[in-house]
């Protein structure tokens, strides 16, 4: 047999026994000591890295409760260079990514390089802060006070951005808020507020309260996509968070940025796209499944309702083709929303647009009976939001809210939408 064949036999035998029998694993290393000296000691970076990659695959397999055998092997005198490469590998990153707490805690004792990045530029810390049950791992890494703590991924996001994953992770990371610049901008010109809104992480009043504790000073900046945090909340139909966010940060609901985007323009574009795509989708089987969209449709209706209560101007064109919210709703055949806006004095009765051939907003295709059926369902859902789900005192509370001091506003909002 060639030495290469012996090497393949060594790996096969070792990886077969390593999880089962420590004594036999050590015996295999002694048996193939000459092969190990040839392939895994000295200036053989390619072979050593390849071996560590295979070794890591075994380590990452599920249902391992004791990593002592792996540690004994890695600290064998013949594995000096293997151990060095292991410490520079992505093993801790992968353990944190999969949420394996036991493995991650063992790796913390193995002098792993915390500055190692994966293909996305993410470190183990970035993956760990996203998972509440790994906060012990986060603490160990943060206690080192190394430069790796401030590293950014390929998009310019540091660990603080990843801590915005949910309210628990964001709250856990508060003890380290003074270590990070809350106004740090990533490559898309986003701070943590804009980032968490863009990626749908802001959920509810509790999350917003925690986020405010980070003292980020720019709640209304615009990213490279031309959108603000509030615009993303409207786009995603997060009406509760939108109202609270605008009120707490004193942002004018009709603010228009340098990209000529406003909350209303971003909202109606997203609503139109969702409305048309779902309403015109023809099911591939007898199981229509259209009713599964009820929550999203109602969230958009609640968002439009919130924009009315906030005093948004629905008459201003939302693009260079003079499209307005009313003209777009007309093309969508969303007659209930049109009626609601008319009743609240938000739009004029004339919804015609001279640029009726605008390809950005075509009329919905009603020729298919299934689409007609979907439109009927949507009409029912919209009526439920605008006329039946709110009690009679809703409009009065909104009017009071718009005139009241901030403290009163928060109490009124609790009564209205929570």
Angle between helices 294-310 and 335-343 (to 10 degrees): 20
Measure the CA angle with vertex 85, ends 80 and 86; round to 5°.
95
Q: Write down the mean pLDDT value for the chain.
A: 91
Dihedral of CA atoms 195, 197, 201, 204 in degrees, nearest 10, equals 140
* Mean pLDDT, range 67-91, rounded to an integer: 97
Q: What is the pLDDT of residues 42-67, one digit of tens each?
A: 999 999 999 999 999 999 999 888 89
- 351 compared with 373, residue with greater pLDDT: 373
What DSSP letter does each residue of 124-167 carry, written as one string?
Answer: HHHHHTT-GGGHHHHHHHHTT--GGGG---TTS--HHHHGGGSH
CA distance 163 to 39: 42
Q: What is the pLDDT of residues 97-117, one digit of tens each?
A: 999 999 999 999 999 999 999
* C-alpha distances out from residue 300 to 367, 381, 382, 386, Å: 25, 11, 9, 11
Place 400 in a pLDDT band, splitting at 50, 70 and 90. Answer: very low
Q: What is the pTM of this model?
A: 0.88
For a pLDDT cut of 70, what percent of the chain falls above it?
Answer: 90
Q: What is the pLDDT of residues 212-237, one digit of tens each?
A: 999 999 999 999 999 999 999 999 99
Indicate whether 19 pLDDT > 90.
Answer: no
Is there a contact between 336 and 386 (Cβ–Cβ < 8 Å)?
yes
CA distance 273 to 266: 11
Measure the CA angle with vertex 8, ends 51 and 112; round to 5°.
15
Q: What is the pLDDT of residues 119-135, one digit of tens each?
A: 999 999 999 999 999 99
Residue 378: alpha-carbon gap to chain centroid: 28
Domain edges within the chain: 1-89, 263-417
pLDDT the model gives residue 117: 99
- Which two structure tokens, joined as six digits, stand for 253? 């609901």
């Amino acid at each position: 047999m060639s030495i290469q064949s012996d090497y393949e036999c060594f790996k096969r035998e070792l990886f077969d026994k390593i999880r089962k029998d420590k004594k036999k694993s050590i015996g295999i290393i002694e048996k193939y000591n000459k092969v190990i000296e040839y392939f895994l000691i000295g200036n053989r970076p390619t072979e050593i890295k390849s071996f560590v990659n295979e070794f890591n695959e075994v380590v990452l397999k599920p249902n391992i409760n004791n990593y002592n055998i792996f540690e004994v092997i890695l600290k064998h005198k013949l594995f000096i260079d293997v151990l060095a490469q292991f410490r520079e590998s992505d093993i801790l990153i992968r353990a944190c990514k999969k949420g394996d707490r036991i493995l991650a805690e063992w790796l913390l004792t193995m002098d792993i390089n915390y500055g190692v990045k994966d293909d996305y530029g993410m470190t183990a810390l970035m993956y760990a802060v996203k998972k509440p049950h790994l906060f012990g791992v986060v603490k160990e890494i943060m206690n080192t006070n190394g430069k790796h703590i401030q590293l950014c991924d390929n998009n310019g996001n540091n660990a603080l951005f990843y801590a915005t994953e949910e309210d628990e992770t964001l709250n856990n990371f508060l003890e380290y808020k003074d270590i990070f610049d809350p106004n740090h901008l990533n490559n898309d010109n986003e701070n943590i507020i804009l980032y968490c809104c863009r990626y749908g992480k802001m959920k509810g009043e509790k999350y917003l309260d925690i986020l405010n504790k980070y003292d980020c000073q720019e709640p209304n900046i615009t990213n490279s996509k031309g959108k603000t945090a509030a615009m993303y909340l409207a786009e995603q139909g997060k009406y509760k968070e939108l109202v609270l966010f605008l009120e707490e940060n004193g942002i004018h609901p009709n603010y228009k940025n340098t990209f000529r985007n406003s909350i209303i323009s971003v909202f109606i574009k997203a609503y139109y796209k969702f409305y048309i795509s779902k309403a015109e989708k023809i099911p591939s089987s007898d199981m229509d499944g259209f009713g599964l969209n009820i929550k999203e449709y109602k969230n958009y209706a609640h968002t439009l309702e919130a924009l009315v209560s906030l005093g948004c101007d629905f008459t201003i064109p939302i693009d260079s083709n003079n499209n307005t919210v009313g003209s777009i709703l007309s093309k969508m055949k969303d007659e209930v929303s049109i009626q609601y806006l008319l009743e609240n004095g938000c739009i004029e009765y004339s919804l015609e647009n001279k640029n009726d051939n605008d390809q950005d907003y075509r009329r919905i295709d009603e020729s298919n009976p299934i689409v007609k059926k979907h439109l009927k369902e949507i009409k029912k859902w919209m009526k439920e939001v605008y006329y039946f789900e709110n009690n009679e005192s809703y409009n009065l509370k909104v009017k009071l809210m718009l005139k009241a001091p901030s403290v009163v506003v928060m109490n009124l909002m609790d009564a209205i939408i929570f």
